[in-house]
């Protein structure tokens, strides 16, 4: 019987394991250095804030894996011996495999002025980061969070939970500039204002002086001349594929592990999925690395099928993503350009007081709906995906607007006359 080893028990690895098990009786070993059992990484913030416990964010108990003959191993793997089909652990244990899936996810991106080993510099990605934050946030002084995305927003929320009054430093001219149009970004600013988070825009850090014998705090110097003195720096500056242990292997690496659309690497019996995988080809308006829970889950499904001997191709399909900034939900489905282009226009509604917005982007030459972005309003993704696949026109979308709502009828959803055609600002 074939022995399948999966490296990494995040959503990509676990989805692969479950998909293999649905289709085959092969032996499966799931290895993780981070946590003995699969947990919902995206829910770590709730554990920090006491809303959930560690047990609550474990979707499948260990007994579930046991019941489905998926062996779990909590170990650190230091390298892959590709010619011998062996994984070597940090204590020199050798684990043979017939088929290997690498799903080691991401690691935090550290700006070149920072060093993760300095005290007071924190990330929020791995389980271990949570433990470190639990001990340092409540005692932190004038904490600073750097970044313009979800992790930065979550770090700020966690600190605010402990009344630490964090400052948020954003390099761009508004929060979320790389995934939000300006109007939506300003809505997030509004929620930061309500939560009394001081926001420093256009603040790009150029250097950092760490604490020494005389001073206990870090000093941050920004390009615009501002300085910040703090003993706590939370970094929400993005993630990179976690593949350093593969640098000397014969695997073809780009920024991530290069895979074809069957999630297979250049080595026949090695697959990769999730944040660490880089597609060797992608759709024109998409990226080759899309580090995101949903993408990892569907890649895991495809990898699992191929490993189980059912040929299947990964297709990027229609992009969707969700997030939550404090209590403001973000929902995106399809392609919504961030700024004005010749081809695109949008119908837009926004209410800054109630923290709602809805944007229907469409292609001006074909009049087809290209994507929907909503803040504070829930939309019916299943329906919307069908619409986008069928190439629905913007007119039809506007006429059927109420059916786009995925929320209780007592709740507010804008009617057609509230949406105005706007060029992007």
Nearest distance from residue 68's CB to other proteins, in Å? Answer: 5
Query: From CA 265, how far away is CA 259, in angstroms rounded?
Result: 5
Q: Which position among 213, 214, 353, 410 is part of the footprint of other proteins (CB under 8 A)?
A: 410
Q: Does 22 bind other proteins (CB under 8 A)?
A: yes
Q: Does 415 bind other proteins (CB under 8 A)?
A: no
Q: Which position among 5, 11, 205, 372 is part of the footprint of other proteins (CB under 8 A)?
A: 11
Q: What are the beta bridge partners of residue 405? A: 379
157: left (phi over 0), alpha (psi -120 to 50) or beta: alpha
With CB under 8 A as the rule, give the number of residues binding other proteins: 36
Q: Could you count the other beta carbons within 10 Å of the beta carbon of residue 329? A: 16
Q: Does 293 bind other proteins (CB under 8 A)?
A: yes
Query: From CA 204, how far away is CA 220, in angstroms rounded?
Result: 10
φ/ψ (deg, to 5) at 278: -120, 120
Q: Which position among 36, 51, 402, 415 is part of the footprint of other proteins (CB under 8 A)?
A: 51
Q: Which position among 182, 201, 324, 393 is part of the footprint of other proteins (CB under 8 A)?
A: 324
Q: Does 141 bind other proteins (CB under 8 A)?
A: no
Nearest distance from residue 377's CB to other proteins, in Å? Answer: 9
Name residues whose C-beta falls within 8 Å of residue 242's C-beta, 6 or more positions apart in sequence: 104, 105, 106, 107, 275, 276
Q: Which position among 5, 158, 379, 401 is part of the footprint of other proteins (CB under 8 A)?
A: 379
Q: Does 356 bind other proteins (CB under 8 A)?
A: no
Query: From CA 201, how far away is CA 14, in angstroms rounded?
Result: 39
Residue 57 has which token pair? 């964010």
Q: Which position among 26, 37, 40, 186 is part of the footprint of other proteins (CB under 8 A)?
A: 40
Q: Which position among 2, 3, 26, 43 is part of the footprint of other proteins (CB under 8 A)?
A: 43
Q: Give whichever of 94 and 354 is closer to other proteins, judged by the CB atom.
A: 354
Q: Does 2 bind other proteins (CB under 8 A)?
A: no
Q: Does 319 bind other proteins (CB under 8 A)?
A: no
Span of 219-227, 258-266, 320-328, 387-395 interacting with other proteins by CB under 8 A: 320-328
Q: Does 408 bind other proteins (CB under 8 A)?
A: yes
Q: Could you count the other beta carbons within 10 Å of the beta carbon of residue 323? A: 20
Q: Does 59 bind other proteins (CB under 8 A)?
A: yes
Residue that the structure tokens 């069928």 belong to? 390
- Going 128 to 227 to 205 to 144, the CA torsion angle's sign is positive
What proportions of the chain, in percent to the nearest 5, are helix, strand and coil? 25, 30, 45
Q: Does 26 bind other proteins (CB under 8 A)?
A: no
Residue 71 has which token pair? 């062996």
Span of 87-95, 158-166, 196-204, 317-325 interacting with other proteins by CB under 8 A: 317-325
For 44-58, give one letter per residue: b (16+ CB within 10 A) or e. Answer: bbbbbeeeeeeeebb
Query: From CA 384, how far away is CA 392, in angstroms rounded?
Result: 9
CA separation (Å) from 315 to 281, 291, 387? 11, 15, 18
Q: Which position among 5, 18, 101, 373 is part of the footprint of other proteins (CB under 8 A)?
A: 18
Strand duo 121-122 + 227-230: pairing: unpaired
Q: Which position among 2, 27, 37, 46 is part of the footprint of other proteins (CB under 8 A)?
A: 46
Q: Does 64 bind other proteins (CB under 8 A)?
A: yes
Q: Which position among 113, 118, 294, 315 is part of the footprint of other proteins (CB under 8 A)?
A: 294
Span of 117-125, 144-152, 186-194, 402-410 interacting with other proteins by CB under 8 A: 402-410
Query: From CA 91, how far away is CA 330, in angstroms rounded?
Result: 44
Nearest distance from residue 239's CB to other proteins, in Å? Answer: 16
CB 356 within 8 A of CB 301: no
Rg (CA), the chain: 23
Q: What are the beta bridge partners of residue 422? A: 346
Span of 49-57, 185-193, 240-248, 335-343 interacting with other proteins by CB under 8 A: 49-57
Nearest distance from residue 363's CB to other proteins, in Å? Answer: 24
Give the x/- contact pattern for other proteins in 81-110, rule: CB under 8 A: ------------------------------
Q: Does 6 bind other proteins (CB under 8 A)?
A: no
CB 9 within 8 A of CB 31: yes
Nearest to 65 by CA among 125, 6, 106: 6
Q: Does 68 bind other proteins (CB under 8 A)?
A: yes
Binding site for other proteins (CB under 8 A): 11, 18, 21-22, 40, 42-43, 46, 51-53, 56-60, 64, 67-68, 293-294, 320, 322, 324, 327, 329, 331, 378-379, 381-382, 406-408, 410-411
């Amino acid at each position: 019987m074939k022995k399948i080893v999966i490296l990494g028990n995040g959503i990509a690895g676990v989805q692969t394991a479950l998909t293999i098990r649905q289709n085959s009786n092969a032996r499966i070993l799931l290895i993780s250095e981070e946590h003995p059992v699969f947990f919902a990484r995206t829910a770590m913030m709730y554990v920090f804030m006491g809303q959930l416990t560690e047990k609550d964010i474990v979707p499948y108990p260990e007994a579930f894996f046991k019941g489905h003959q998926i062996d779990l191993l909590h170990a650190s793997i230091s390298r892959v011996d590709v010619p011998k089909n062996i994984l070597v652990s940090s204590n020199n244990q050798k684990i043979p495999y017939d088929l290997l899936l690498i799903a080691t996810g991401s690691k935090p991106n550290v700006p070149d002025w920072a060093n993760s080993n300095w005290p007071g510099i924190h990330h929020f990605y791995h389980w271990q980061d949570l433990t470190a934050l639990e001990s340092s946030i409540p005692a932190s002084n004038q904490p600073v969070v750097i970044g313009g995305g979800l992790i930065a927003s979550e770090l700020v929320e966690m600190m605010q939970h402990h009344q630490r009054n964090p400052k948020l430093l954003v390099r761009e001219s508004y929060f979320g500039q790389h995934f939000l149009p300006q109007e939506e970004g300003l809505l997030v600013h509004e929620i930061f204002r309500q939560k009394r988070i001081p926001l420093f825009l256009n603040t790009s850090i150029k250097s950092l002086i760490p604490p020494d014998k005389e001073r206990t705090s870090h000093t941050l110097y920004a390009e615009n001349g501002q300085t910040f003195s703090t003993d706590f720096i939370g970094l929400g500056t993005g993630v990179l594929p976690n593949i350093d242990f593969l640098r000397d292997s014969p695997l073809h690496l780009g920024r991530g592990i290069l895979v074809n659309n069957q999630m297979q690497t250049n080595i026949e019996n090695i697959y990769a999925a999730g944040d660490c995988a880089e597609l060797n080809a992608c759709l024109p308006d998409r990226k080759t690395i899309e580090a995101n829970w949903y993408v990892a889950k569907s890649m895991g499904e495809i990898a699992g099928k191929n490993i189980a001997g059912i040929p299947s191709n990964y297709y990027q399909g229609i992009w969707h993503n969700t997030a939550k900034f404090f209590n403001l939900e973000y929902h995106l489905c399809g392609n919504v350009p961030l700024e004005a282009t010749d081809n695109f226009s949008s119908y837009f509604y926004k209410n800054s007081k109630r923290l709602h917005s809805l944007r229907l982007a469409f292609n001006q030459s074909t009049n087809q709906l290209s994507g929907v972005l909503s803040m504070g309003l829930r939309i019916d993704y299943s329906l919307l995906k069908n619409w986008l696949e069928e190439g629905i026109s913007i007119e039809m979308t506007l006429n059927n607007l109420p059916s786009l709502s995925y929320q209780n009828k007592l709740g507010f959803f804008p009617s057609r006359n509230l949406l105005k055609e706007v060029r992007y600002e």
